[in-house]
Amino acid sequence: MLNFYKIVKENLSFNRFQYRDTVCLEYTCPIDAEHIGIFSKNDYVVHVLSGKKTYRTIDGEWTLTPGQTLYLKKGAEVIHQYFDDEYCMLGFFLSDDLIRETYNEVRGQTSLKQENSQSDFRGLEINSSNYLEGYFHSMLSYFRGENRPPDHILVLKLKELLINLMNGNPSLTSYFNRLADTDRPSLEHVMEKNFCFNLRIEDYAELSHRSLSSFKREFNQIYQQSPGKWLLQRRISHAANLIANSEGSVSQIAYQSGFEDLSHFSRAFKQVTGRNPTDYKKKLLTV
C-alpha cells in the first residue's frame, strides 16, 4: 500500500504547505489505477473540488463528489477511482499535536457539543456550511498564490479548520477530546481498524506512532504473540466470516482480508481452518 502522507509530504510538484508534521495541499491524483490502497499516520480531511472517488475502510464506504468533505482517521483505506473527470481535492493531513493544541485552546472558551456515547468511526462525512465553504475558498488563494503564507498565518488557518469541523460535529468533538487526553494512538485500536489491509509491520508501527522495537514489545505484551502470527489469524478469521456471510468471490474476499496473493491466501486459510476456502464454503452450504 502507498504511504499517502509520505507522498504528499515529499512530492514538490503539489501546491502544498507544511507546518511541523501537518501538511495541507491542493492535489490532483496522478495515478491511473482503478483501485489504490493507501495509508496515513495523520488524520486527514478531503474536500473535493472536481471529479469523484470512493473511499473504503473496514467500517464504511463513501463516494465523494465536488463540494463534499470527508474526515478520515489515521489508518488505511482502498480508493476506487473514476475517470470521467479529473479528480482534484484539498487535503489537510492534521498532526495529533495540532489537534490537541487547538482543542485545549478552545475547550474552556466556548461550548462544544459532544456525543454522550463513546461512538467510534474511521471516516466521517462533514456537512457543508457557509463557514467551511468560505474557508476552503480562502485556502485556494494560498495554494495558488506565488508565496507561502507565514507560519503564524498558516497555523491560524489550520486551527480555523479544526474549530469549524468541531462546530456541528459532536462525534468529531468527542474524538478530539479523547485524543487530547492521550499521548499517542491506541495500538489495539490501530490493529483492529487496519488488520485487513496489506500493510507491513513497519507500517503498523508508524500508524501507532511508535518505533518498530517499541511497537513489537508493546504488541507482545498485549496479545501474547508476534504481530505476524496475530495478523494471519485475524485475517483468516475475517475471511471465514466473509465467506459465510457474503456473496463475494474467493479472490475478492482474499483482497478484502489483506491478502494480495490468492495462492498464499488459500494455503494460509487451509493451515488455520483445515480446509481451503472453496471447500469451507461448500461445507457451510451443506450444514
Q: Which domains can be identified in the chain, with CATH numbers?
A: 2-180 (2.60.120.810), 185-287 (1.10.10.60)
pLDDT given for residue 116 in this prediction = 64
Report strand pairing: 15-19 vs 43-50. unpaired
pLDDT given for residue 17 in this prediction = 92
pLDDT given for residue 117 in this prediction = 59
73 close to 15: Cβ distance less than 8 angstroms: no
| Sheet containing 123-126, strands listed edge to edge, beginning at the edge strand earlier in sequence | 15-19, 22-28, 88-94, 43-50, 69-72, 123-126
**Rounded to the nearest 5°, which phi and psi values hold at 68?**
-95, 150
Joined grid coordinates for residue 121: 468511526
Angle at 260 between CA 254 and CA 263, to 5 degrees: 70
pLDDT given for residue 112 in this prediction = 77
pLDDT given for residue 121 in this prediction = 87
pLDDT given for residue 102 in this prediction = 96
State the Cα–Cα distance between residues 232 and 265, nearest whole angstrom. Answer: 10
pLDDT given for residue 287 in this prediction = 56
Give DSSP secondary structure letters for 195-262.
TTS---HHHHHHHTT--HHHHHHHHHHHHSS-HHHHHHHHHHHHHHHHHHH----HHHHHHHTT-S-H
Which 8-state DSSP code applies to residue 98? H
Mean pLDDT, 10 residues at a time, over the chain (287 residues)?
93 84 90 92 97 94 97 96 93 97 88 71 92 94 86 95 91 93 94 96 98 98 97 96 92 94 94 92 77
Which helix (H) or strand (E) element contains residue 15? strand 15-19
